[in-house]
């Protein structure tokens, strides 16, 4: 019996297609998911296989951009240092003389969490407890931020030692606020801001 003719191409059953991505994953996608994982799960959660599954990618896709997990961690730490300090520096650096206005903008940066992520800051500080390299970087960034704050207090006519102590108090207060996981509404924080300003800045 002769073979039945093969059905024309239009009637053949098509192989189902998997979900498609609008654009291929890039380096930023891996850094972004690593940052999210650090915040939610801590440093132990950053595993290549786990990140790949979250991105619906392959481990090979990771190695297209990074030589090893450590390179990703190094770039993640550099990302924190740059992105979580950029607005802080932009407010306090430069030649503008309105230091009180600058400090008010800085306080509102913390309240509105625009240009600064307290969750990212806290996650990196937790990471620093298990990594000397990260701890060293965090200390250096803290010293830079305190130095900028001291400059601001000197600009408001405080003597050097007093400016340094006020800078420390201001900064330690803010870090402690996040470390203690204080929960307040934005409205309450804005309502109390003048009292904090008086207590922390002497005005």
Confidence of residue 6 (pLDDT cuts 50, 70, 90): very low
Confidence of residue 25 (pLDDT cuts 50, 70, 90): confident
Residue 3 pLDDT more than 70? no
Measure the CA–CA gap between 42 and 93, rounded to whole angstroms: 32
Q: What is the pLDDT of residue 201?
A: 80
Measure the CA–CA gap between 191 and 177, rounded to whole angstroms: 16
Token pair, residue 72, equals 């990703």
Residue 22 pLDDT more than 80? no
pLDDT in tens, 151-187: 999 999 999 999 999 999 999 999 999 999 888 999 9
pLDDT in tens, 127-137: 999 999 999 99
CB-based burial label for 103 (10 Å; 0-12, 13-18, 19+): buried
CB-based burial label for 189 (10 Å; 0-12, 13-18, 19+): middle
Measure the CA–CA gap between 59 and 40, rounded to whole angstroms: 21
Q: What is the pLDDT of residue 203?
A: 64
Residue 61 pLDDT more than 50? yes
Token pair, residue 17, equals 């297609």
Measure the CA–CA gap between 77 and 138, rounded to whole angstroms: 9
Compute the average pLDDT of residues 55-69: 94
């Amino acid at each position: 019996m002769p073979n039945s003719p093969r059905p024309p191409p239009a009637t053949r059953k098509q192989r189902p297609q998997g979900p498609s991505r609008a654009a291929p994953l890039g380096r930023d996608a891996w850094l972004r998911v690593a940052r999210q994982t650090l915040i939610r799960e801590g440093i132990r959660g950053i595993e290549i296989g786990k990140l790949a599954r979250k991105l619906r990618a392959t481990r090979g896709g990771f190695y297209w951009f990074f030589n090893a997990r450590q390179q990703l961690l190094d770039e993640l730490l550099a990302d924190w240092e740059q992105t979580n300090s950029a607005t802080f520096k932009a407010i306090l650096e430069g030649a503008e003389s309105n230091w009180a206005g600058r400090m008010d903008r800085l306080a509102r940066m913390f309240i509105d969490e625009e240009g600064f992520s307290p969750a990212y800051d806290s996650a990196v500080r937790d990471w620093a407890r298990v990594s000397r390299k990260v701890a060293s970087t965090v200390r250096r960034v803290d010293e830079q931020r305190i130095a900028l704050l001291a400059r601001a207090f000197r600009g408001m006519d405080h003597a050097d030692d007093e400016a340094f102590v006020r800078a420390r108090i201001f900064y330690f207060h803010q870090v402690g606020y996040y470390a203690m996981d204080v929960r307040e509404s934005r409205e309450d924080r804005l309502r109390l801001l003048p009292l904090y300003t008086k207590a922390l800045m002497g005005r």
